[in-house]
Amino acid sequence: MPVPFLDLKKQYASIKSEIDAAVMGVIEECNFIMGPNVAAFEKELAGYLEAPHAVACASGSDALLLALMAVGIKPGDEVVTTPFTFFATAGAIARLGAVPVFADIDERTFNLDAKKAVDKINSKTKAVIAVHLYGQSAEMAPLLAAAGDKKIPVIEDCAQAIGARYENKPVASVGDIGCLSFFPTKNLGCYGDGGALITRNPEIADKLKILRVHGAKPKYFHKFIGINSRLDEIQAAVLRVKLKYVDGWNRRRKEIAAEYDGLFKGARGVSVPYNAPYADHIYHQYAILVDNRDAVLKKLNADKIGAGVYYPEPVHLQECFKYLGYKKGDLPASEEVSSRILSLPIYPEMSGAEVKEVADAVMAAL
């Protein structure tokens, strides 16, 4: 049977009446920008993530940019991060004229190798961005200790990890600023673009609120050079409905991951995701490692099994970053993983039969 990579229509059907009422409520009020739903969502999100401050914005990419702006990143500053992530992480650094400094990943978790990242910190380092990839927290304690000694802010890219925990603490509230994305495919997704920032620091929270509205406070009086990055009321209304369900959806993702693990147990040529002991993985993606990945992907797609590659080329080898001087072989773990990684369908509405169909198709394609 065909199995899609993701089926948002099933999710919508399960909460249709609540979503429709929330959206129509905004339309009837005709208050579309930075209204009561945004304010309420920020409060509810902060409570969910056990942090005092949440600041909504227009996208996860903007959240990264705003976080770097808030901690004062300037041209020439170095920011240590991972090369195995979506482009937006390093792109936000470069947009401010700063220099992305890439440390290699842990081959098991696919996240930043904390020891290698700490080794990259020097007098030019002005921030560290740890990405919680695929729904699993990066190892934060060594980063926080090393950065804290030098008073370097640690930013969490939690675009794929809302609801995940590090040593029983919600990601996004572990470092100095947490950045969230509500892109529709995320575990908590809206019906367009959306993002948010989480912080325990009231001064940073106040600065973020100013930066997202062109740096103005009050209106038309500009304290900083900011950007326009406001969350729409409709998106906030949708997110308020969905936030109530995200823990249940994440639990179902864990169940599906366990089903996959059992089906792949003993299979040759498949490495299932590793769950680090410090992390509560919420499986935004179920990412396996296989040899002959491209051939396997082609066969799965031919069989109408949804699968994808996140990410086929590490960031340090992207054409736009040639000026940084990295070459193939510099970050071998990231390069090896990018050549073998394959993400399989995982979403809360998947049936056990669909999970087995995918697993069988993978093993037949090896």
Give how far Cα 225 sits from Cα of 16, 63, 70, 271, 349, Å.
40, 16, 11, 47, 44
Q: Which of 243, 268, 285 is the last residue of a domain?
A: 243
The per-residue pLDDT for 108 is: 97
Q: Check whether residue 196 and residue 254 sit in a common domain.
A: no
Mean pLDDT of 298-309: 96
Same-domain status, 32 and 178: yes
Which positions ≥6 away from 17 have C-beta within 8 Å?
A: none
* DSSP tag of 216: B
pLDDT at position 71 = 98
pLDDT of residue 216: 97
Look at residue 304 and tell me if it is in a domain: yes
1 pLDDT higher than 90: no
Is 99 inside any structural domain?
yes
Residues 160 and 141 occupy one common structural domain:
yes
Given 186, 207, 209, 242, the catalytic residue? 186
- CATH code of the domain in which 307 resides: 3.90.1150.10
Q: Which two tokens stand for residue 223?
A: 């304290």
d(CA 278, CA 281): 10
- Select from 243, 273, 307 the last residue of a domain: 243
d(CA 54, CA 34): 14
Checking if the pLDDT of 84 tops 90, the result is yes
Structural domain boundaries, residue 341: 246-365
Structure tokens at 3: 């199995």
Whether 186 is a known active-site residue: answer: yes
Same domain, 210 and 250: no
Residue where a domain terminates, one of 219, 243, 267: 243
Are residues 222 and 307 located together in one domain of the fold? Answer: no
Query: Average pLDDT, stretch 95-110?
Result: 98
Question: Mean per-residue pLDDT for 49-53?
Answer: 98
- CATH code for position 45: 3.40.640.10
Q: Is residue 1 part of a domain?
A: no
Specify if 150 maps to a domain. Answer: yes
* Each residue's pLDDT tens digit, 190-237: 999 999 999 999 999 999 999 999 999 999 999 999 999 999 999 999
Give yes or no: residues 268 and 180 share one domain: no
Based on the domain organization, do 119 and 62 belong to the same domain? yes
The answer on 250 and 239 residing in a single domain is no
Which residues, 6+ apart, have CB-to-CB distance to 309 below 8 Å?
293, 297, 341, 342, 343
- Report the distance separating Cα 322 and Cα 324, nearest Å: 5
- How many whole angstroms separate alpha carbon 166 and alpha carbon 158? 12
Whether 2 is covered by a domain: the verdict is no
Within a domain: 73: yes
* 262 located within any domain: yes
15 inside domain: yes
Both 199 and 257 in one domain: the answer is no
What's the pLDDT score for residue 356?
97
Report how many domains make up the chain. 2
pTM for this predicted structure: 0.97
One domain, residues 68 and 210: yes
What mean pLDDT is reported for the chain?
97
pLDDT at 198: 98
Q: Is there a single domain that holds both residue 210 and residue 83? A: yes
Candidates 231, 191, 238, 233; CA nearest to 208 is 231
Does one domain contain both 312 and 184?
no
